[in-house]
């Protein structure tokens, strides 16, 4: 075996071990909460990561990935998906209305729906492409001025708008305020989703995904715990 193959095998083994560690923690927290681990989907947040960084996770069997920007995803994923047509791509960053058509064509789920104009643009794109992908409303759970997401009081109006434009909304997403305890915010999102009859909760990142699992998360978005810290 040459040195290049040895390095590839070592990288694959290391990635597999990291992935197993995250899955084990999810399983442990799910068991503590009396939940079925199969109800929880791990999204590997691959934003800013190169194809070379992503490929070992794909080779280890992981299939759910999250991106923040349409343009960046368009540069990486057509090639990465060439030999793996079962990859599920999640849009988890703020989405501009003028990128709605591209997002509908490329992504399999959008987690960041947060305003009427975006719902209208997504509805138009879905109808034109005849591709009705599942979406989640992003909620500004900490009522932060400079953060994406709709106000809690606006959830029902957005659900009504989504229904009118035939945009499938299956759950809620949130990002708790930095520096605050995440648990109360996760508990609130779980309560809001339950009140609206929505099945999915996208919440929890590398620093708090275990807590999110115990409080009802069905999608968790993990980056650095899988890929390591970002450079720069």
Q: What is the pLDDT of residues 15-69, one digit of tens each?
A: 788 999 999 999 999 999 999 999 999 999 999 999 999 999 999 999 999 999 9
157 part of a folded domain: yes
Contacts of 112 (CB under 8 A, 6+ apart): 91, 92, 93, 94, 95, 136, 138, 148, 149, 173
Domain count, the chain: 1
| Ramachandran sector of residue 144 (left: φ over 0; alpha: ψ -120 to 50; beta: rest) | beta
CATH number reported for the structural domain that contains residue 80 in this entry: 3.20.20.10
Instruction: Quote the domain boundaries for residue 114.
Output: 3-227
For residue 14, tell me if it sits in a domain. Answer: yes
Residue 13 above 70 pLDDT?
A: no
Look up residue 123 and give its two tokens.
Answer: 């509805």
- Single pTM value for the model: 0.92
Q: Residue 232 falls within a domain, yes or no? A: no
Q: Is residue 76 part of a domain?
A: yes
């Amino acid at each position: 075996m040459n040195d290049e193959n040895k390095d590839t095998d070592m990288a694959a083994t290391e990635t597999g071990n990291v992935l197993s560690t995250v899955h084990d923690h999810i399983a442990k927290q799910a068991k503590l909460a009396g939940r079925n681990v199969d109800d929880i989907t791990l999204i590997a947040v691959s934003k800013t990561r190169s194809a070379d960084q992503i490929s070992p996770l794909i080779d280890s069997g992981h299939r759910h990935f999250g991106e923040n920007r349409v343009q960046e995803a368009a540069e990486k994923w057509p090639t990465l998906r060439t030999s793996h047509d079962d990859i599920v791509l999640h849009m988890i960053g703020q989405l501009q209305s003028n990128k709605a058509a591209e997002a509908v064509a490329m992504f399999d789920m959008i987690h960041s729906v947060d305003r009427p104009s975006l719902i209208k643009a997504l509805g138009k794109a879905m109808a034109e492409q005849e591709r009705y992908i599942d979406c989640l409303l992003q909620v500004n759970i900490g009522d932060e001025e400079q953060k994406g997401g709709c106000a809690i009081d606006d959830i029902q109006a957005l659900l009504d708008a989504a229904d009118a434009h035939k945009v499938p909304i299956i759950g809620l997403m949130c990002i708790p305020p930095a520096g605050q305890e995440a648990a109360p915010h996760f508990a609130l999102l779980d309560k809001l989703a339950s009140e609206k009859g929505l099945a999915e909760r996208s919440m929890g990142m590398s620093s708090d995904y275990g807590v999110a699992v115990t409080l009802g998360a069905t999608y968790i978005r993990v980056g650095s715990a899988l890929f390591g810290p970002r450079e720069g």
